[in-house]
Amino acid sequence: MTAHASPSSHTRSWLGLLVVLGPVLLVSMDGSVLFLAMPRVSQALNPDADQALWILDIYGFAVGSLLIAFGSIGDRYGRLRLLMIGATVFGIGSAAAAFATTPELLIAARALMGIAGATLLPSALAVLSELFTDPKRRAQAIGIFAAAFAAGFAIGPVIGGALLERFWWGSVFLINVPVLVLFVCLAPVLLGEVRGTRPGRVDAMSVVTSAVGLLVAIYGLKHAAADGISIIAAGAVIAGVALLTWFAIRQRRLERPLVDFSLFRDRVFTVAVITGLLPLAAWSAAAYLSGIYLQSVLNIPILNAALITLPGAVVLTITCIITPLVVDRVGKRTALLVCHTSIAVGLLALLLTTVTGGVGWFVASTMIAGVGYGISFAVVADTAVGAVPPERAGSAGAIAETSNEIGNALGIAVLGSVAALVFRLEGPELAPTLDETLQLPGLATTSIAAAKTAFLTGMHVAVAAASALHLILGFVALRWLPRSVHKAGPPETGVVDPAGSARSARMR
């Protein structure tokens, strides 16, 4: 790796860290900021059930499907250059989303933001690693980076709720613009360019097949949940799976694959990657469905709903910070068991919510599950990287990063579709979603009660399924993981894979 500019002052390095944290915090926060805002978006744009889910998770799918590709592009053309381009496009996408007038325009803007977000995450850690040449100070900086990223996911709904109390729904996107303008102005002054020593080429076909296959398969699942099983839904799922299968086969033949599937032969690595995906899937689905529950079922004002989510966000962030200090004593195996158990128990607490009350159970759920989510942020990538030889650490970290981003989107896509399907089957059959039903004029009291009950049933089914998956994965971790999971060592010196480092840094 070469750096064209290297800050000589400690003050300049820390100022550079603050500048980098701005867009990184926005990328993580924008993955969750709409969870409480969706009822307002639904009232303003009136999306159907399928469109509402796309508005929420097209961002996560764009980030997750392009993360590794943009890591390789940054190696070849320069990380700072990619950061500048990504921040600019992210700002344009944010402004477009804020003033979108139709569901289709909002989906397109969110997709643009996701593409830009995929450029920011891997590049930010590479630039940060170059900014702090002293190992001790670099570790401190990376710890701050990790906590900020975790906090962004956690406080996204809180920020969204606070903004919507005073402004229109587009404000949750427009707030990004001044932060990104400040970054674009300061980054060239405080940050240095970073390139890899062996950039290689990016396989365009792999990028296209992975992204399209994922989106087509999820479209089929959503279509089936919203409108029932049909030829279109089944065909989309089959086509998506076929593309993803071809993608996997192609990776085995490439000299420099986007995803090195041979790493999954290691059980510890496999458990770690699944642990990176499943907790984020459960968290995103529970946060999205709970946001609707608090506002549309219990009729809680949006600012109060945002404040109710705060205890869980605090627990998640604190757990992320203290876990690396504790895991050295208890071991990663124990940490992962606690991770899955606490998430499973926390999700089960949501089953005690009713159409007339349940705020206390919701708070308890987020705090208990927040422990598990925080552990997942703190140890997964480190476990994945430690399970493989040092020369493959970058690829392992990149897969762990991608599993996290895709998990965030899959939770809403799959579990959200499950909840939508239950509502369609159990509801009053007046509209495909709860918010659309409640907006119908002259709605009878019995229909309102039936719609709220059907939504709550769908939420309970979704969180129960997620809880069961975590219990199963906890049992698998107990059987597969050795009592002591050691690190294989740091990545090969002189070669930095920021896509892998990003996730590794977040988890340390």
Distance from C-alpha of 119 to C-alpha of 46, rounded to nearest angstrom:
31
Q: How many domains does one find in the chain?
A: 2
C-alpha distances out from residue 253 to 75, 157, 200, Å? 22, 43, 16
**In the listed set 241, 257, 273, which residue is the last one of a domain according to the structure?**
257
**Helices and strands (DSSP H and E) totals, the chain:** 20, 2
Q: Would you give the end-to-end CA distance of the chain in angstroms?
A: 23
Q: Three-state DSSP class for 417?
A: helix
Cα 413–233–415 angle (5° rounding)?
Answer: 20
The CATH number given to whatever domain includes residue 345 is: 1.20.1250.20
Which of 249, 377, 404 lies closest to 320 in space, CA to CA?
Answer: 377
What integer pLDDT is reported at residue 207 of this predicted model? 78
What integer pLDDT is reported at residue 506 of this predicted model? 36
Do both 245 and 331 map to the same domain?
A: no
Two tokens at 266? Answer: 């290691």
Two tokens at 479? Answer: 């059987």
Helices (H), 387-440: 393-410, 416-426, 434-438
**In the listed set 212, 234, 257, which residue is the last one of a domain according to the structure?**
257
* Cβ count near 216 (within 10 Å): 19
Do both 430 and 417 map to the same domain?
A: yes
What integer pLDDT is reported at residue 152 of this predicted model? 76
Q: Let me know: does 422 contact 460? Beta carbons within 8 Å.
A: no
Do both 70 and 164 map to the same domain?
A: yes
Give residues with Cβ within 8 angstroms of 401, minimum separation 6.
67, 68, 121, 122, 276, 381, 499, 500, 502, 503
What is the pTM (predicted TM-score) of this model? 0.70
Q: What are all long-range contacts of 163-169, with beta carbons under 8 Å and residues at least 24 apart?
A: 164/36, 164/37, 164/40, 164/302, 164/303, 165/301, 165/302, 165/303, 165/306, 168/40, 168/44, 169/37, 169/40, 169/41, 169/44
C-alpha dihedral over 128, 327, 349, 281, to 10 degrees? Answer: 40
Do both 377 and 451 map to the same domain?
A: yes
Do both 240 and 183 map to the same domain?
A: no
C-alpha dihedral over 226, 155, 321, 179, to 10 degrees? Answer: 110
- Could you tell me how far CA 167 lies from the centroid of its own chain? 25
Q: Let me know: does 321 contact 370? Beta carbons within 8 Å.
A: no
The residue whose two tokens read 């290689």 is 200
Do both 174 and 32 map to the same domain?
A: yes
Over residues 267-282, the pLDDT tens digits come to: 777 887 888 788 888 8
Residues in the chain: 508
What integer pLDDT is reported at residue 464 of this predicted model? 95
The residue whose two tokens read 């308890």 is 364
Do both 224 and 348 map to the same domain?
A: no
Q: Three-state DSSP class for 455?
A: helix
What integer pLDDT is reported at residue 93 of this predicted model? 92
Two tokens at 419? Answer: 């909840």
Distance from C-alpha of 481 to C-alpha of 490, rounded to nearest angstrom:
21
**In the listed set 233, 257, 281, which residue is the last one of a domain according to the structure?**
257
Distance from C-alpha of 270 to C-alpha of 273, rounded to nearest angstrom:
5
Distance from C-alpha of 5 to C-alpha of 80, rounded to nearest angstrom:
11
Do both 252 and 349 map to the same domain?
A: no
Distance from C-alpha of 51 to C-alpha of 43, rounded to nearest angstrom:
13
Do both 210 and 342 map to the same domain?
A: no
What integer pLDDT is reported at residue 163 of this predicted model? 81
Do both 303 and 367 map to the same domain?
A: yes
Do both 245 and 322 map to the same domain?
A: no
Ranges of the chain with pLDDT below 70? 1-9, 31, 64, 68, 71-72, 74-77, 121-123, 125-126, 128-130, 133-143, 146-147, 150, 154, 192-202, 225-228, 381-398, 400-402, 405, 409, 482-508
* Three-state helix/strand/coil letters over 122-159: HHHHHHHHHHCCCHHHHHHHHHHHHHHHHHHHHHHHHH
What integer pLDDT is reported at residue 281 of this predicted model? 86
Domain span at 222: 203-257
Do both 152 and 243 map to the same domain?
A: no
